[in-house]
Amino acid sequence: MKLFPKVLGILVVLAAVGGFIAMDIPLYDKIFYIFAAICVGSGAFVVFSRNIAYSAFSLLFAFFGVAGIYVLLGADFVGVSQLLIYVGGILVLFLFGMMLTSNIDKLREERPTMGRLLPGVIVASAICALLISVAWGVPAWRKAAVQVPTKGTNTTSLIGNLLMGDYALLFVASSIAILVALVGAAMIARSDRLSPEDAAERM
Amino acid sequence: MHQFLVDLFGQNVVPYIIVCALPLVFILVFALLAILGELKLSAFMQHRVGPMEAGPYGLLQPLADIIKLMQKESIRPLKASRWLFQIAPFLVFVGSFAAFAVIPFSPFYIAADLNVGVFYIIAVSSIVVIGIFMAGWASNNKYTLFGGIRSVAQIISYEIPGGFVVLAVVMMAGTLSMQGIIEQQGGGFWNWYIFGGPKAIATHSFITGHDIATPGSWLSLLLIPLMLLATLIYYVCGLAETNRVPFDLPEAESELVAGYNTEYSSMKYAIFYLAEYANMFVVCAIAVTLFLGGWHSPLPKFIVQYLGADSHIWLGLEGLFWFIMKSFVLVLVQILLRWTLPRLRVDQLMHLCWKIFLPVGFVLVIVVAAWITFVAPRPEPAAKAGGDVNTPKVVAPPVARPLAGK
C-alpha cells in the first residue's frame, strides 16, 4: 500500500512533463521555462531549507539555472563565467567553510517569530517597492523587447575589446582590489612564524 | 552534424536528443575498452596474464564486471544524507558528460561548437568538484569526507596552472572555439601547438618553401620548447584533475579506504567509475585539441585526400580516426603511468602545483603575449603559410596590442 502514493506521484510528474512537451509554444520558450523553474525552485529551497547543507548545495542548481538563462539571452560568455565564478569559486568556498565546521548539519534554523518576521517583511517590501519604482522610471528599460542576436555574434571578443579599451582602468582597478584581498587573506591565514627572540619576548 | 539532423527530423527535440546520445554511447564503449586496457596492461606490466575467463583472452571481462555491478544491492548508509547521497554520483557524471558537448570528434561532428568552447569546459568541470564534495560529505563517513576535501583541493589547485597553459594557446589561436583552434593547426604536424603553433615553424622558408620569414622571426623557434613544456604541464594537470595515479590521494587505498566513493555500491558506484573514465577521455581530448592538432592528420592533407577521395564522409571518418587515435594514445599513457609511478605526498603535490607549474604558467603567458605583440607574423603571411588545403577557415586574429583601444 505504501507504493501507491509513489506511483501516483510518478504518474502526476509524467503527465506534467508530457503536457509541457505537448504545449504549443516554441522550443526556446520551453527551455526558458525549464531554466526559470530550476532557478526559482532551487532559490526557494536555498531560502526555506532548514538544513544549511541542503541550502548550500541547492545554490548549485540556482547558479546553473541563471547561467542557462544568460546563455538563452545570447550572453554565452557571461553564462559560462557565471558557472565558473559562482559554482567553481564561491560555492566551493561556501562548502569548504561548511565542511570544516563540525556538526554544522545538526544545526537547525529556528522558526521565525512574529516579532522578527514583521520588520523583515517591512524592510524587504520597502526595498522591493523602491527598486521597482526606479526600474519603471528608466525609460530605456521599458522599450519593447529587442530581438536578441543569438547566433553569429561573438560576445567574447566584444567583451574583451571593451575591457581592454573603454574600461581598461576599471578592469585594472578591480584586479588590484582582488589582488589586495588575496594578499590580505594570505596575511591573515598564515601561521605566525616568529623568530625565536620575538617568541621569547612575547612569552 | 546538428544541422544535418535538423534537416532530417525537423526543428524539434529529436535532433538534440540524438546529438546528446552519441557521446553517451561513446563513453560507454570507451569505458569498456579502457577498463579492459587497464586490466590487460597492468597484467602485462606485472608479468601476469590478466583476466582470461570471460570471452576469448578475457575480452568480455569489463562487460562481466558491469553486469556484476548492476546486480549488486544498492546500499545507503543509515546516517547518510538521503537526497545528497543519491544525487552526487549523477552530478559527477553530468559534469564529465557536459564537457562532451564541445569535444570536436571530427570536422563535421561536434555537438555544439560554442564561441566559448574551451572556457565552457573549464567551467563545467566545476560541477564535478561540487559532485565529489557532495558525495564525500553526504556519506557521513570520515574517510569519504577526507577524500572529498582532498579531491576538491587538488582539482581546484591544478585548474590554475592548467588554465594558464590553456590561456597561452587561446591567446595564440585568438579564439575560444574548439573547432576554431583545431582549424588553425592544419597543414602538417609542425603546425600543431605542441610545436609552437601554425606561426612558429611554418614561417621559416627552409621547411615550407614560402619566403615569408620576417627579420627576427627565428625568435618564433623559441616557442617550440616552451610549448612542449606547456603540453606536459597541461597533461599533468589533467592527470591531477582526474584523480589518477600519481595524483590519486583522494582515493588512496592505504589511507582512505576508497576516498569519496567508499560508501557507494552497485549502480551508483558504476556511475562514479564511468564518470572517471569519461573524465580521462575529456582531459586527453582537450590536450589533443589544444596541442596535437585535433582531428588533423600529421601530414599536410588528410590521407583520403591523397587517395583522391574528398567527400564529407571520408574526411569526417578520417578526422574521427585521428582524433580518437591521438586521444587513445594519451589515455594509454595515463594507464601506463598508473602502473609505473608511486603516489605523491600531499606536500609534493602542492609544491609541484604552486611552486613549479604556476610560475612556469605565468612565464608562459607573458612570453606568448610578448611574442604575439612583437614577433608574430602579421595575419596575411600567416594565412598563406597555413597549408594548401586546410587553410584556416577562421580569419587569423588581429594582433593584440595592449591598451590600443579608442
Q: What is the ipTM of this complex?
A: 0.72
Determine the average pLDDT of the residues in A89-114. Answer: 73
CA distance B339 to B256: 19
pLDDT at B398: 41
Option in B13, B114, B137 nearest A76 (CB) = B114
- Please check whether residue B164 touches A, CB under 8 A: no
Q: Does B124 touch chain A (CB under 8 A)?
A: yes
A76, A92, A165: residue with CB nearest B152 = A92
Q: What is the CA radius of gyration of chain A?
A: 24
Percentage of chain A surpassing pLDDT 70?
Answer: 80
Q: How far is B140 from chain A (nearest CA, A)?
A: 10
B94 Cβ under 8 Å from any chain A Cβ? no
Q: Determine whether the interchain pair A54/B83 forms a contact, defined as Cβ–Cβ distance below 8 Å.
A: yes
Q: Contact B285/B334 with Cβ under 8 angstroms?
A: no
> Which cell numbers hold the place of B239?
592527470
Taking the C-alpha atoms of residue A98 and residue A115, their distance in angstroms, rounded to an integer, is 29
Q: Which residue has the cell 574526411?
A: B315
Q: Flag whether residue B14 sits within 8 Å of chain A, measured between CB atoms.
A: no
Question: Are residues A91 and B130, on separate chains, in Cβ contact within 8 Å?
Answer: yes
Within an 8 Å CB–CB cutoff, is residue A77 touching chain B?
yes
Q: Does A90 touch chain B (CB under 8 A)?
A: no
Question: Cell 580516426 appears where?
Answer: B321
Window 374-403 of B, Cβ < 8 Å to A: 402-403
Closest CB to B156: pick one of A21, A92, A99. Answer: A92
* CA separation for the pair A156, A174 (Å, rounded): 19
Residue with cell 594519451: B330
Angstroms from A48 CA to nearest CA on chain B: 16
3-state class (DSSP) for residue B135: helix
Percent of chain B scoring above 90 in pLDDT: 2
Return the C-alpha cell found at A197: 627572540
Q: What is the DSSP letter of B189?
A: G
Question: Mean pLDDT lowest for which of A49-53, A154-158, B203-207?
Answer: B203-207
Question: Does A29 touch chain B if contact means CB atoms closer than 8 Å?
Answer: no
pLDDT in tens, B129-157: 888 888 888 888 888 888 888 888 888 88
Among all residues of chain A, which has the CA nearest to that of B118? A80
Q: In this model, does residue A202 exceed pLDDT 60?
A: no
Distance (Å) of CA B3 to CA A30, A31, A127, B151: 20, 19, 47, 39
In which residue are the cell numbers 561548511 written? A98
Write out pLDDT tens, residues B81-107. Answer: 778 888 888 888 988 888 888 888 887
Give contacts of B115 with chain A, Cβ < 8 Å. 76-77, 154-156
Nearest to B124 among A57, A83, A164 (CB): A83
Q: Report the chain A residue with the minimal C-alpha distance to residue B174.
A: A157
Comparing CA positions, the residue from B232, B248, B191, B193 lying closest to residue B333 is B232
Out of B126, B134, B403, closest to residue A87 by CB? B126
Q: Name the residue among B65, B52, B99 with its Cα closest to residue B273.
A: B65
Mutate to test the interface with B, among A51, A156, A169 (most CBs of B within 10 A): A156
| Interface contact B12, partner A, CB < 8 A | yes
Question: Lowest mean pLDDT: which of A146-160, B18-32, B293-307?
Answer: A146-160
Closest CA to A23 of A31, B294, B318, B317: A31
Cell numbers at B89, concatenated: 554520483
Q: Which long-range contacts (CB under 8 A, 24 or more apart) does A55-58 make?
A: A56/A91, A56/A94, A56/A95, A56/A98, A57/A95, A57/B84, A57/B130, A57/B134
Q: What is the pLDDT of residues A156-175, one digit of tens each?
A: 777 888 888 888 899 899 99
Per-residue pLDDT of B2-33, as tens digits, reads 666 667 666 666 777 887 788 888 888 888 88
Residue of A nearest to B138 (CA): A53
d(CA A113, CA A141): 39
Distance from CA of B40 to the nearest CA of A (A): 37
Chain A residues with CB-CB distance to B133 below 8 A: 92, 95, 99
User: What was the pLDDT predicted at A104?
Assistant: 63
The answer to whether B137 contacts A95, with C-beta atoms less than 8 Å apart, is yes
Partners of residue A66 in chain B, C-beta under 8 Å: none
Peptide bond into B246 cis (omega under 30): yes
**Chain B residue closest to A152 (CA)?**
B115
Q: Do A53 and B137 touch (CB under 8 A)?
A: yes
Position B224 confidence tier, pLDDT thresholds 50, 70, 90:
confident
Q: What is the pLDDT of residue A6?
A: 78
φ/ψ of residue B339, rounded to 5? -95, 5
- Cα separation, B376 vs B200, in Å, equals 8
Cβ count within 10 A of residue B287: 21
Residue B238 and residue B287 in contact, taking contact as beta carbons nearer than 8 Å = yes
Is the pLDDT higher at B325 or at B398? B325
| A71/B207: higher pLDDT | A71
Q: Which three cell numbers stand for residue B166?
A: 590553456
Q: Does A60 touch chain B (CB under 8 A)?
A: yes
Give the tens place of pLDDT for each residue, B344-359.
888 888 888 888 999 9
- Count of A–B CB contacts within 8 Å? 85
pTM given for the model: 0.79
d(CA B369, CA B170): 11
Question: Would an 8 Å CB–CB cutoff place A86 in contact with chain B?
Answer: no
Phi (first) and psi of residue B106, to 5 degrees? -155, 170
